Amino acid sequence: MPEAVSHKVQGMLGDFPTPEALLDAIHALRAKGYSRLDALTPFPVHGMEEALGENPSRLGYIVAAAGLAGAAAALLLQWWTGAVAYPLVIGGKPPFAFEFSIPITFELTVLFSAFAAVLGLLVLNGLPELYHPVMNASRFAGATDDRFLLVVDAADPAFHLEHTAELLRALGSEHTEVFEG
């Protein structure tokens, strides 16, 4: 990038060949008291959340709420337009009835939920986030290809340029680098 990256160490990155190796390393580091770890992998690795002590996603609740909102909106729309705004006699049917409101209620429920799910995903992940310091790391590209990266945040109390690097190498990191930004 033309404009200078502020040369402040943001963290350290270890590069592992397999998910298993990565998991072992994470367990080891956490055992050593590291708390601010992250893993960058080309595909979801099972057991990763447990390893990093992440609590399960709350996305479900958001979606559920949105779904209910969708249903309510649909029913309200159909009832208000049909029975309040301009009640017309159509086909000898009542201005509003649940029977013929079901399909659209269902559709809107799904629609709202789906939007909630996607927006939720983005928000919870803080996306879009076009820039992230770790992207400055030379090995970053591997994370979307075939490498399994372990990232130690510089803010981690246990973080130490030499020791942490040592440790990572010891745990089988094939490449260890500090990234700034």
Partner 1 sequence: MADLAIRPQDMQQELNPPLVTGGLSYRDITEKVSGICESKTPRSWYIAIGVTGSLTAVLGLMLAYLVANGIGVWGNNSPVGWAWDITNFVFWIGIGHAGTLISAILFLFRQRWRTSINRAAEAMTLFAVACAGIFPLFHVGRPWRAYWLFPVPNTDLNMWQNFRSPLLWDVFAVSTYATVSALFWYVGLLPDLATLRDRARSKLRQWVFGFLSLGWRGSARHWKHYEAAYLILAGLSTPLVLSVHTIVSFDFAVSVIPGWHTTIFPPYFVAGAIFSGFAMVITLMVIARQVLRLENLITLKHLDNMCKIILATGSIVGYSYAVEFFTAFFSGNPYERFTFLNRATGPYAWAVWTMFTCNVFAPQLFWFKKIRTSVPAMFAISIVVNIGMWFERFVIIVTSLHRDYLPASWGYFRPTVVDVLTFTGSIGLFLTLFLLFARFLPIIAVSEVKSVLHAQNAGH
Partner 2 sequence: MGAIFPKSANGVVRLAAGALLLAAGASIGLYAYFSQPRVLDTGYTPVQPVPYSHKLHAGNLGMDCRYCHFTVERAAYAAIPPTEVCMNCHVRVKPQSAQLQLVRESYARGEPVAWVKVHRLPDYVYFNHQAHVSAGVSCVSCHGRVDQMLEVKQVQPLSMAWCLECHRNPAPHLRPVELVTKLDWKPDRDPTQIGREIMEAKHIAPPVNCSGCHR
Partner 3 sequence: MKTGKRYWRSLGELSDTPQFREWLHREFPENASEWTNHASRRTMLRLMAASFGLAGLAACRRPTEHIFPLAKGVEDYVPGNPLFYSTAFALGSAAFGLHVETHDGRPTKIEGNPNHPASLGAASAFAQASILSLYDPDRTRSVRQGRRRSSWEAFGEFAKDYFRDDGDGLRFLSGEVISPSLEAVQQHALQRFPRARWIEYEPVSQDQAIAGAELAFGRAVRSHYQLEKADVVLALDCDFLGLDAPSLAYTRAFASRRKVSAPKSEMNRLYAVECNYSLTGAAADHRLQMRASKMALFLAALAAELKLAPEMPARAQLSDAELRWLQAVAKDLAAHRGRSLILAGPRQPAVAHAWAHALNELLGNFGTTVRFTAAEGKRQVEQIRELADEMAAGRVKTLVILGGNPAYDAPADLDFSSRLTKVRTVIRLGLEEDETSALAHWLLPEAHYLESWGDVRAWDGAVTIQQPMVAPLFGGRTAAEVAAMISGYPYQRAYDIVRNRWGGAEAAWRKALHDGLIATEQVEEVKPKTRLDRILATPLPPSVDGIEIVFQPDASVWDGRFANNGWLQEAPDPITKLTWDNAALLAPSTARTLGVKSGDMLLIESAGRQIRIPAMILPGHAAGSITLPLGYGRTKCGRVGRGVGFNVYPLRTSNAMGFAAASSVRKIPGSHRFSLTQEHHSMEGRPIVLETTMEELRKDPRAVEKKTGRHELFSLYKEPTYDQGNQWGMAIDLSACTGCNACLLACQAENNIPIVGKAQVARGREMHWIRLDRYFEGSDEEPSIVFQPMACQQCENAPCENVCPVAATSHSPEGLNDMAYNRCIGTRYCANNCPYKVRRFNFLDWHKDLDALQKNQYNPDVTVRMRGVMEKCNYCVQRIQEAKIKAKAESRRALRDGEILTACQQTCPAEAIVFGNLNDPNSKVSKLKKQARNYQVLAELNVKPRTSYLAKVRNPNPELA
Instruction: Catalog residues that contact partner 3 under the rule CB under 8 A.
Output: 88-94, 97, 99
- The site partner of 92 among partner 1, partner 2, partner 3, none (C-beta below 5 to 8 Å per kind) is partner 3
Q: At what angle do helices 102-124 and 59-79 cross, to 10 degrees?
A: 150
Is 170 a binding residue for partner 1 by CB under 8 A? The answer is: no
Closest approach, Cβ 72 to partner 3, in A, equals: 23
Query: Rounded to an integer, what distance in angstroms lies between the CA atom of residue 42 and that of residue 106?
Result: 36
Rounded to 5°, the CA angle 152-150-125 comes to: 80
Q: Which pairs from 159-168 meet CB under 8 Å and 24+ separation?
A: 159/11, 159/12, 159/34, 159/36, 161/9, 161/12, 164/12, 164/34, 165/12, 167/28, 167/29, 167/32, 168/12, 168/14, 168/25
Is 90 a binding residue for partner 2 by CB under 8 A? The answer is: no
- The site partner of 59 among partner 3, partner 2, partner 1, none (C-beta below 5 to 8 Å per kind) is partner 1
Is 95 a binding residue for partner 2 by CB under 8 A? The answer is: no
Cβ–Cβ < 8 Å for 149, 15:
yes
Sole binder of partner 1 in the list 8, 31, 127, 157 (CB under 8 A): 127
Nearest to partner 3 of 42, 95 (CB atom): 95
Is 89 a binding residue for partner 1 by CB under 8 A? The answer is: no
Sole binder of partner 1 in the list 28, 45, 158, 178 (CB under 8 A): 45
Closest approach, Cβ 113 to partner 3, in A, equals: 25
Sole binder of partner 2 in the list 1, 7, 33, 46 (CB under 8 A): 1
Cβ–Cβ < 8 Å for 158, 34:
yes
Q: Which whole-number Å values give the CA distances from 53 to 34, 50, 70, 124, 142, in the listed order?
A: 11, 5, 34, 17, 24
Residues binding partner 1 (CB under 8 A):
19, 38-45, 48-49, 52, 54, 56-57, 59-60, 63, 77-78, 81-82, 85-86, 88, 90-91, 93, 100-101, 103-104, 106-108, 110-111, 113-115, 117-118, 120-122, 124-125, 127-132, 134-135, 140-141, 143-146, 151
